[in-house]
A = this chain, B = another copy of it.
Amino acid sequence: MGQWAKRDDTIVHQEDPYNAEPTPAALNHRPVTPLDTFYSRNHGPIQQLDPHTWRLDVDGLVDRPLTLSLADLRQRFAQHSVVATLQCAGNRRAELSTVRPIPGQTLWGPAAISTAEWTGAALADVLGAAGLHQRGRHVAFVEADATARPDGVALFGGSIPMAKATAGEVLLAWQMNGVPLPVVHGAPVRVVVPGYIGARSVKWLRRITVQEHCSDNYFQAGDYRLLPADADPAEAAAGHGLPLGVAALNAAILTPDQGQSLPAGPVRVSGYACAGEDREVARVDVSVDGGQRWRQADLGTAPGPWAWRLWQLVVDLAPGPVKITARAWDSSATCQPERPEHLWNPLGYMNTAWSRVNVTCTAR
């Protein structure tokens, strides 16, 4: 068992803060990702909070500010479970960095994405108990203070629009896959915002603030922004660029492996596809001739309306080098963009280009 109870074959990009993703093979084929496999994305230290003394403040534009213990949350509010996929906005950044370097950013492969069954209270219910003022437009989250937080590292936070916050699927979760939320994933309670970039699902939740404006936390106001390709990365810190939030359609091939040698003949190609907010995965196409002809993959069944689809297709590969390409379409008939060259941006976010794996097939 590796660090933070992750699999030994976990790909650790950084020890502190802890940033790690599973191997594509480990992620594949399991509609709900096991705890030892779920990716970890952090900007600061993993926080060790005492669940008995932990408190959640709900304040801002509310009639009745609340301070809730974990027992309060569990006893006062109905328990809900949602199977939801979370994906880092930097997922698949490594591929973007082959277009042009992206210094100072974690070079995620295709596995900064995972799916869990989350259980907790509906944020909508907690906000209802606090009583929302009409002026409230955004709901902001901030993590707890870390005792060992290094100087200069901002507390992590972010906000979501009120319509999303009250929609029912956003949870204050204390369970993951039926067991208490692990420390590395935000114990005792984290936010889970299905359909949004992972950065909005704030871990080690300490405070919920109802406010007129979206979060001015550094990780929303000055990071997680899509800059034009020719911008200086420092412009993000000044609030330039497109603020990320709602997730976008994405897909990746998980098997075969990039660069694998395998016998020619029938080969099973498989991976995931994940639609953005308010959309569904409608079709996944696979090509073995560089995008000239496509066949539709089997989408399997969705583990839930907020979860990915694990698709697969058996293709017949001839001997020699083969380019395998996959692309997803969503329920608005939107197709992923083709080339990472056109999606490159200085912070390397939102690589949603068609997924490509090159293999070499040997004659049987």
Query: A228-B296, A230-B293, A278-B278 are known contacts. Are A283 and B242 too (CB-CB below 8 A)?
Result: yes
Query: Which of B283, B333, B343 meets A350, CB within 8 Å?
Result: B333
Is there an interface contact between A242 and B293, defined as CB atoms closer than 8 Å? Answer: no
**Copies per complex?**
2
Per-residue interface assignment for chain A, residues 321 to 337, with 1 indicating a CB less than 8 Å from any chain B CB and 0 otherwise = 00000000101111111
Which residues of B sit under 8 angstroms from A331, Cβ to Cβ?
242, 245-246
Residue A349, interface by CB 8 Å? yes
Rounded to whole angstroms, the CA-CA distance of A349 and B282 in the bound complex is 15
Is there an interface contact between B338 and A248, defined as CB atoms closer than 8 Å? Answer: no
A279 to chain B: closest residue by CB: B246
Is there an interface contact between A248 and B334, defined as CB atoms closer than 8 Å? Answer: yes
Rounded to whole angstroms, the CA-CA distance of A291 and B277 in the bound complex is 29
Is there an interface contact between B228 and A332, defined as CB atoms closer than 8 Å? Answer: no
- What 20 additional pairs, Cβ within 8 angstroms, besides A228-B285, A242-B283, A246-B278? A226-B329, A228-B296, A230-B293, A242-B282, A242-B329, A242-B331, A242-B333, A245-B331, A245-B332, A246-B279, A246-B332, A248-B332, A249-B334, A277-B278, A278-B278, A291-B342, A333-B349, A334-B334, A335-B343, A338-B339
Q: List, sorted by A's number, 19 A–B pairs whose CB atoms are closer than 8 Å.
A: A228-B296, A242-B282, A242-B329, A242-B331, A244-B333, A245-B332, A246-B278, A246-B331, A247-B332, A276-B334, A277-B278, A333-B350, A333-B352, A334-B334, A335-B352, A336-B337, A337-B337, A337-B338, A338-B339
5 nearest A-B residue pairs (beta carbon): A246-B332, A248-B332, A333-B350, A278-B278, A248-B334
